[in-house]
Amino acid sequence: MGNTPERGHHHDALRTFAVHFLQFFAGSFSSLLVGLISFPILTRALSQSDYGSLSIVTVAASLGVAVAKGGLSDSIIRFYREFAADGTRLRTFTSTVLVRSILMAGVVALLFALLVTPTRHALGLTAAIAPAFFVMAAFVFIRPINIVVLNYLRATGRTIFYNGISLFLKVASVALALALLFGFGGKLSLYFTGIVLAEAIGAVILVRWLLRNYPVSPGAVSGPLSMQLIRFGVPLLATEVGYLLLQYSDRYLLTAFTDTATVATYSVGYNLPSYVNDLVLFSVSYAIVPIYTDLFTTRGEEQTKAFLASALKYYVIGVVPLCAGYAATAHDAIVFLASAKYASAATFSPIVLAGLVFLGANYILYAGLYLHKRSELILATVALAVAVNISMNLVLIPRLGALGCAISTLVACATCSVAAAILSFRRMPIRIPWGSILYYGAASIVMYLLVSRIETGGAVTNLLLKVPAGALIVGAAFLLRDRHELGALPTLLRRG
């Protein structure tokens, strides 16, 4: 076959995806390193009860931010290209998104503050945690506004600026949070105050950039456009809330059935694989959605399907060995990073990672629903998964504790991915790379069996031997079957 225009556009999309993925990966990796500074400090310095309380407040704030976005910021990626070509329409679009987002965030932040006391009583938490909740009401207001501007950076392909400001926010939040926590009495409210201050600084930078580059006027706000964006975005908003419930509702159920110390152990067992998975999940989702949206709009469905099939194959090549490698090193990693008091988390932490990997594939699997604007069906898949997760947790937590939460997460996430694929493939089928799944599954099993036998008696030395050994085994498997993909990478990056 020759180099047809269709193949050229397909390769152009893959090249853009490769470049953007690596840029987002670099940003995610940098943020991971920053997060790994605070993670061992907090797990060692705080009691298990306090660390559990910190996790509960963090999850509540994440849910608040998801609701405060009101679906408007979620619409930017999908609709920006439709308004960008005309200055007047773009002004209307930007004004509508920004003004409505500020109003929505203010209302939700107020409700968040008003719900602190009844929520605390319902969960049986002490009054000492209330100031932390109140501080994070400010975060619930500021963060959605920052996300609006960050999504403009995503939509316009400004990945370097995006990664730079995201890394700045991460560094600033960790530095300020730890400085206030340990410098002024060790109260959790001070830790969260540092996070809010970092977001406020970020808001000054981001909003200033937006106003410099896009005209904004309250008089240009469009009611009909608001409704159009909300109709598309609200199902995505509900989907995001569903994703958060799918990932974090188990911590509240654990609190109801057990105590904050158990929540702390589960949080450690969950947070570490989430750090690892975010390297892939964040990079894939933030790179791929704008690309396949633009490809679908400008080049059509067939080229989009070809691109998504290739992207799914690369995702499988990356995440299947990742799960096996983490299973072989989880105990050592948790003891090294969080201390031996959380060692029991290693029994369920790899199960959590497997669930998160299923969830990460959804950004590819539900592309047909997203592109055909059937966001309500995306919501339906997440709602099903949340129902499965909560139901299983209610049965398994009393019997298995934190392990029951991990099993519930895996089953629910797999259910979500299968449902998304079934519904999306009816509109835009994507070729599943079964050969890669079987091959790398087998290679990963071999890698796990060999690497898990390495035991030196120390967590650090184990990791120093296990990680490169696993990488060598998987690398050999990759070169044996897919070395031609490696040969194409330098060309892709040079042309990007």
Q: What is the DSSP string of 278-305?
A: HHHHHHHHHHHHHHHHHHHHHH-HHHHH
Distance CA 53, CA 130 (A): 10
Instruction: Determine the pLDDT at residue 490.
Output: 45
Instruction: Determine the pLDDT at residue 487.
Output: 53
Instruction: Determine the pLDDT at residue 326.
Output: 93
Distance CA 26, CA 81 (A): 26
Among 326, 346, 250, 330, CA closest to 52: 250
**Assigned token pair, 252:** 């509240």
**For residue 300, is it within any domain?**
yes
Instruction: Determine the pLDDT at residue 489.
Output: 47
Among 135, 110, 134, 104, CA closest to 200: 135
**For residue 142, is it within any domain?**
no
Give the torsion through C-alpha atoms of 460, 463, 468, 470, to 10 deg: 170
**For residue 228, is it within any domain?**
no
* C-alpha neighbours within 13 Å on the C-beta side of residue 276: 27
**For residue 397, is it within any domain?**
yes
- Phi first, then psi: what are they for 374, rounded to 5°? -105, 55
Instruction: Determine the pLDDT at residue 18.
Output: 56
CA angle 203, 208, 211 (to 5 degrees): 125
**For residue 267, is it within any domain?**
yes
Distance CA 303, CA 295 (A): 7
Domain that includes residue 393, residue range: 259-496
Distance CA 15, CA 205 (A): 30
Q: How many domains are there within the chain?
A: 1
Instruction: Determine the pLDDT at residue 235.
Output: 76
Amino acid at 210: L
CB atoms inside a 10 Å sphere around CB 240: 21
Distance CA 447, CA 449 (A): 6
Instruction: Determine the pLDDT at residue 376.
Output: 81
Amino acid at 255: T
**Assigned token pair, 351:** 């199960």
In tens digits, the chain (496 residues) has pLDDT values of 445 544 444 455 555 555 555 555 555 566 666 666 787 888 888 888 888 888 889 888 988 998 888 777 767 877 777 787 777 888 898 898 888 889 999 999 999 999 988 887 877 777 888 899 999 999 999 999 999 899 888 888 787 888 888 888 988 999 999 999 988 877 889 999 999 999 999 999 999 999 998 888 888 888 888 888 877 777 777 777 887 888 778 888 888 888 878 888 998 999 888 877 776 666 666 667 777 877 787 778 888 888 888 888 888 888 899 999 999 999 999 999 888 889 999 999 999 999 999 988 888 898 888 888 787 888 889 899 999 999 999 999 999 999 999 999 999 999 999 999 999 998 898 899 899 999 999 999 999 999 999 999 899 999 999 999 999 999 999 888 877 765 544 443 343 3
**Assigned token pair, 131:** 């100031």
**For residue 302, is it within any domain?**
yes
Distance CA 149, CA 94 (A): 10
Q: Which DSSP letter does residue 219 get?
A: G
Among 229, 245, 226, 242, CA closest to 373: 229
**For residue 184, is it within any domain?**
no
**Assigned token pair, 50:** 């306090």
Asked whether the beta carbons of 310 and 436 are under 8 A apart, the reply is no
Instruction: Determine the pLDDT at residue 227.
Output: 82
Asked whether the beta carbons of 358 and 366 are under 8 A apart, the reply is no
N-term to C-term CA, the chain: 24
Among 295, 432, 298, CA closest to 16: 295
Distance CA 441, CA 478 (A): 12
Instruction: Determine the pLDDT at residue 1.
Output: 42
* C-alpha neighbours within 13 Å on the C-beta side of residue 394: 6
Cβ neighbours of residue 419 closer than 8 Å, sequence gap 6 or more: 380, 381, 384, 385
Q: Which residue has the tokens 């605390």?
A: 120
Instruction: Determine the pLDDT at residue 176.
Output: 94
Distance CA 447, CA 470 (A): 6
Instruction: Determine the pLDDT at residue 126.
Output: 77
Among 143, 139, 151, CA closest to 73: 151
**For residue 275, is it within any domain?**
yes
